[in-house]
Structure 1
C-alpha cells in the first residue's frame, strides 16, 4: 500500500513528524509531496522560510519517508498518478477549491482511499514563526529619540 500526503513542511517540527509517522503506519510506502515556494504563495500569505531543496533534503532524511516529490503546480492528481497512490492523506483544513475537488474525484473514480487527519495541536510552522517574531520584537532595543 502506497500512502501519499502533501504539504509545505517548512520549519520541520513534531507536528510534521507525528503526521508522517501516522501516514507511514497506514501503508508500506510513504510518498510526500512538497509544495514549491510558488505553490505556497498561491494559498498562504508568506513563502516558506526554508528553501524547497532544504525541505526536500530534511524529509528525505526521515526514516518514515520513502519518496519525496516536489510539486510546482497547485494540483495533486499528477502526484497521485506518479506514485500510484492507494491512500491519499489530507489535513482537517481540506477545502472545496478546484484542486481539492479534482483529486477527490480522481481518487473516488479510481477506487482509492482518502484519509483525513487532525493537525497536532502542539505546534505549527505558523506558530513557530509568530513566536520568533514576538521574541525578536521583545528583545529589540528602543530607538534613541532625537529632538
Structure 2
C-alpha cells in the first residue's frame, strides 16, 4: 500500500482536522503528518499557535490513524519532506487547490474537500466572543 503525507498546524484540533486525516489515511497504509513549527505558523497566519509545537505533536501522534509525525519548518521544503519520507501521495485540503500541483513529479497530489463551516480561526473567534 501507499505512504501518504499531509501537513498542517493542527492548533485547536477540531472535527475538520479529524475528518481530513481519516480520509488521508484511507488513501494508503501509512499516514505521515507534518506539523507546522510555531515559527512557520507565525509567518503563515500572522499569529502564533494557541498550543505550542510539543503539545500539537503529541496530540496528532496520539491519533490511532496517524503513523508518524514530524516538524514542518518551511512551506518551501515540501518536496524534500516527500522524498525523505518516501511518500507516494500528498494530501492537502482543497483550500490549497492547485498550489502544490508542481509536486506531482515526486508523488500523486490529492486535494480533499474541507469540512464545511469549521476552521481553527473560526473556533478561536467563537471562544474569544464567549469570554
Q: TM-score, normalising length from structure 1?
A: 0.81
Q: Partners in 1 of 2:104 and 2:11 — Cα distance?
A: 30
Partner of 2:46: 45
Contact 2:7 2:72 in 1 (8 A): no
Contact 1:91 1:118 in 2 (8 A): yes
The runs of at least 4 consecutive aligned structure 1 residues that moved more than 2 Å come to: 107-110
2:109 corresponds to which of 102, 108, 114: 114
Displacement of 1:74? 2.4
Partner of 1:78: 80
Stretches of structure 1 that go unaligned for 5 or more consecutive residues are 137-147
Give runs of aligned pairs for residues 25-64 of structure 1, distance below 5 A.
25-64=26-65
Which structure has the bigger radius of gyration?
Answer: 1
Stretches of structure 2 that go unaligned for 5 or more consecutive residues are none
Contact 1:15 1:122 in 2 (8 A): no
Query: Over residues 90-145 of structure 1, what are the superposed CA-to-partner deviations in whole Å (9 max), with x where a residue is unaligned?
Result: 1122167xxx55xx43x3223x2111011111422111100011111xxxxxxxxx
Displacement of 1:7? 0.5
Q: Partners in 2 of 1:45 and 1:109 — Cα distance?
A: 31
Q: TM-score, normalising length from structure 2?
A: 0.91
Contact 2:97 2:111 in 1 (8 A): no
* Length, aligned pairs only: 129
